[in-house]
Amino acid sequence: MFARQAVHALGNTARLFSTSAARQTKVAVLGASGGIGQPLSLLLKLDPLVSSLSLYDIRLAPGVAADVSHVDTPGEVNGYPADKLDEALEGVKIVVIPAGVPRKPGMTRDDLFNTNASIVRDLASAVARVAPEAYVLVISNPVNATVPIVASVFEKAGVFNPRRLFGVTTLDVVRAARFVSSASNVKPADAPITVVGGHSGVTIVPLLSQNSYGKAITGEKHEALVHRIQFGGDEVVDAKKGSGSATLSMAYAGAKFTNALLRGLNGEKGVVTPTFVKSKLYEDKGVDFFASNVELGKEGVEKIYPVGPISAEEEKLLETALPMLKSNIEMGRAFAAQS
């Protein structure tokens, strides 16, 4: 009963856990004991489209799994310790990766690269070997570089399918709707904002002009709002005073994106959301991964939408974002090439 109410409350107008079909799926969380991993695992346990959860971490995963498994929703839950990664991935359809270290005050997401790049590379190698057809959702930062690393690992293994790899940028979309709706005194569901580009600082490009409430915010307020969406993560990092970055809102965003993908895979039409994918939109500028609206279908990426009509300010934001994005992607590719 509680779970149903929780699903209802969490879902509300954002439709966190809408169910359109009965088909159910096994989902693995790699990094399940972390600040994001634990609440994400709980939220996925509440999703009726998840039939089985496979929780893996280098520490504490069996304990987290035992805890989550007592929640009275139907999904089965299993936890796997550090040396059982292959077992954790067996039969898995979706792999969500929040493994890695988070930021401390003063750090950018790029500062995490040295540690997280090898964590993501090693996890991706295991996925390519054990579950090569799985859909891979990368949360570990810097997403602009970790997603190309996963692509390179899959390419090397001869199993890369660009329709199945996603960088999770949903938190930027969630923040944008929340901030615009607060500024305009409307519900977040009435202020959906498409966020394109990448997932760090100035590579995050919110297209406020495409929403009537967003468009109505002009001048200095507009600039401040764009900055807040781009650097919203810093608010959380600073407020947590060195103990980590966004975890609860990220878990919500991760569960929301996973549910959207599951609905698409199950045949629901019209599931469209921004996500960072292999994309031809700005390939001529050397940017072959880009976040824009993507329709999610039975085989993952169904259609990649162009950014559409944007304001002169947004053109400038995009111009600033592209070279940065290019260098982040190259950094990921270079790391994978020399590994």
What counts of helices (H) and strands (E) characterise the chain? 12, 11
Among 54, 141, 203, 273, binds ligand NAI (CB under 6 A): 141
Is 331 annotated as ligand-binding?
Answer: no
Q: Which two tokens stand for residue 222?
A: 């507009």
- If binding is defined by CB under 6 A, does position 147 make contact with ligand NAI? no
- If binding is defined by CB under 6 A, does position 250 make contact with ligand NAI? yes
Among 46, 112, 180, 205, binds ligand NAI (CB under 6 A): 112
- If binding is defined by CB under 6 A, does position 57 make contact with ligand NAI? yes
Give every CB contact of residue 107 below 8 A, 6+ residues apart in sequence: 237
Among 139, 191, 193, 304, binds ligand NAI (CB under 6 A): 139
Judged by CB, which is closer to ligand NAI: 217, or 255? Answer: 255
- If binding is defined by CB under 6 A, does position 199 make contact with ligand NAI? yes
- If binding is defined by CB under 6 A, does position 37 make contact with ligand NAI? yes
- Which helix (H) or strand (E) element contains residue 262? helix 248-265
Among 16, 27, 36, 321, binds ligand NAI (CB under 6 A): 36
Judged by CB, which is closer to ligand NAI: 146, or 152? Answer: 146
Q: Are 66 and 79 in contact (CB under 8 A)?
A: yes
Q: Which two tokens stand for residue 220?
A: 């200095």
- If binding is defined by CB under 6 A, does position 99 make contact with ligand NAI? yes
| Strands 272-282, 300-304: pairing kind | unpaired
Q: Are 45 and 20 in contact (CB under 8 A)?
A: no
Pairwise CA distance, residues 55 & 205, whole Å: 33
Q: How many CA atoms lie within 13 A of 202 on its CB side?
A: 13
φ, ψ of residue 146 in degrees (nearest 5): -70, -30
- If binding is defined by CB under 6 A, does position 245 make contact with ligand NAI? yes
**Residues touching ligand NAI, count (CB under 6 A):** 33
Pairwise CA distance, residues 86 & 123, whole Å: 10
Is 141 annotated as ligand-binding?
Answer: yes
Pairwise CA distance, residues 279 & 227, whole Å: 25
- If binding is defined by CB under 6 A, does position 230 make contact with ligand NAI? no
Q: Are 149 and 336 in contact (CB under 8 A)?
A: yes
Among 132, 192, 244, 323, binds ligand NAI (CB under 6 A): 244
Which range touches ligand NAI (CB under 6 A), out of 20-28, 100-108, 187-195, 305-313?
100-108
Which residues are catalytically annotated? 199
- If binding is defined by CB under 6 A, does position 140 make contact with ligand NAI? yes
Distances (CA, A) of 337 to 118, 155, 264, 333, 334: 12, 11, 33, 6, 5
Judged by CB, which is closer to ligand NAI: 58, or 186? Answer: 58
Pairwise CA distance, residues 59 & 251, whole Å: 19
- If binding is defined by CB under 6 A, does position 332 make contact with ligand NAI? no
Quick check: bond before 98 cis, omega within 30? no
Closest CA to 198 of 104, 119, 292: 292
Which range touches ligand NAI (CB under 6 A), out of 6-14, 72-80, 96-104, 291-299?
96-104
- If binding is defined by CB under 6 A, does position 143 make contact with ligand NAI? yes
Which range touches ligand NAI (CB under 6 A), out of 32-40, 45-53, 154-162, 289-297?
32-40
Judged by the rule CB under 6 A, the positions of this chain that interact with ligand NAI are 30-31, 33-37, 56-59, 98-103, 112, 116, 119, 123, 139-141, 143, 168, 171, 199, 244-247, 250
Annotated binding-site residue numbers for NAD(+): 31-37, 57, 116, 139-141, 250
Annotated binding-site residue numbers for substrate: 103, 109, 141, 175
